[in-house]
Homo-oligomer: A and B are copies of this chain.
Amino acid sequence: MKAGEFELIERLCRALPYGRRTLLGPGDDCAIIAPSRRPQLITIDSMVEGVHFNLDWLSAPQLGARALAVNLSDIAAMGGIPRACVINLGIREGLDAAFFSGMYRGVGRAARGAGVDVVGGNITRANQLTITIALIGEVLSAALRRDTARKDDEIFVTGTLGDCALGWRIMAGEVKAQGAARRFLVSRFIAPQPRLAAGQQLARMRPAPAAIDISDGLLADLGHILERSRVGAEIELAAIPRSRHYLSVAGDRTDLALSGGEDYELLFCLPRGHSAAALTRRLGVAVHRVGRIVDRRAGMRLRRADGRLIAPPDRRGWDQLESVGSEAKR
């Protein structure tokens, strides 16, 4: 990689605007941000070419925006306010100045939209284009954690599930779709919407709900809540929210909605008494009740439309998709 590209990327990073909380932006050994009275959230996430994305599928600005969005989703899952990020880029041969300019434009747009300052970064050579972002945020009033779900809580999710996994398969040529359905499903992969406002609304509720963002798939991420909270759960298969476009393309196939991953919706647990309709109004995004927390000894169970409880096919997401699919149809 030519040194000129490192300098270009440094310039692009420095050109992004930042706010008053950033006391020293890109260009020194560290960035400096103003102290905050609130507890600080920290998360790191990475997108690797060939693993998480493919440059045929996204434009450079879309890639930049998506890299930040998936990190923002972790702040959303804690009910926090994102503040600042640093970006580590692993760059390979064959990417030109226009690509990096576009990518930083996308990062900048997503950052402005979320009120995040891009305060610094690092660039290295690599075999695969890799975007790793560490994001700092603030706890709003209480943090939404994975370890606070209680028996008899009801389990809710925002939005619809499985769209992104289906969009991914459409782009990979594994599933056929046309027109509006294709556009919607593909856009759910390309431009996931971190549920920041919804997470912040949840953080204002008492007790603060247990929550997680659905990045590995509903079953895998619910599994994290169950493990950390030492509880079990019963999920109503018929209640899993699926978009009309998902239904039009995937029919009654539920595997992608259960385990497809990369939904970046929120899953949260509340004591009984909250209606999905009231939560939808409060959070500003569609909310559906999908099940309830039960005793730990019951583990995780799925209730089929015929009322029968079955074991989940597999708690893992993405990688085990196909086997989950075949098992879920048994």
**Closest B residue by C-beta to A27:** B228
| Chain B residues closer than 8 Å to A147, beta-carbon distance | 28
How distant is the Cα of A120 from the Cα of B125 in the complex, in angstroms?
A: 25
| Chain B residues closer than 8 Å to A80, beta-carbon distance | 30
What distance in Å separates the Cβ of A128 from its nearest Cβ neighbour in chain B?
A: 6
- Taking a contact as CB atoms under 8 Å apart, the answer to whether A44 and B125 are in contact is no
Name which of A36, A40, A73 has the most chain B CB atoms within 10 A of its CB: A40
- Contact A90/B48 with A37-B35, A126-B130 known, Cβ cut-off 8 Å: yes
Of A104-112, A137-145, A255-263, A274-282, the stretch lying at the interface with chain B is: A137-145
- Taking a contact as CB atoms under 8 Å apart, the answer to whether B121 and A44 are in contact is yes
In the complex, A97 has a CB within 8 A of chain B? no
What distance in Å separates the Cβ of A115 from its nearest Cβ neighbour in chain B?
A: 16
What distance in Å separates the Cβ of A33 from its nearest Cβ neighbour in chain B?
A: 5
Of A54-62, A81-89, A154-162, A166-174, the stretch lying at the interface with chain B is: A81-89
Beyond the given pairs A30-B74, A48-B90, 19 more chain A to chain B contacts, judged by CB atoms under 8 angstroms and listed by A's residue number, are: A28-B146, A29-B75, A30-B78, A30-B80, A30-B143, A31-B41, A32-B39, A33-B40, A34-B40, A42-B119, A43-B120, A43-B122, A44-B120, A44-B134, A46-B122, A46-B132, A52-B124, A128-B128, A132-B132
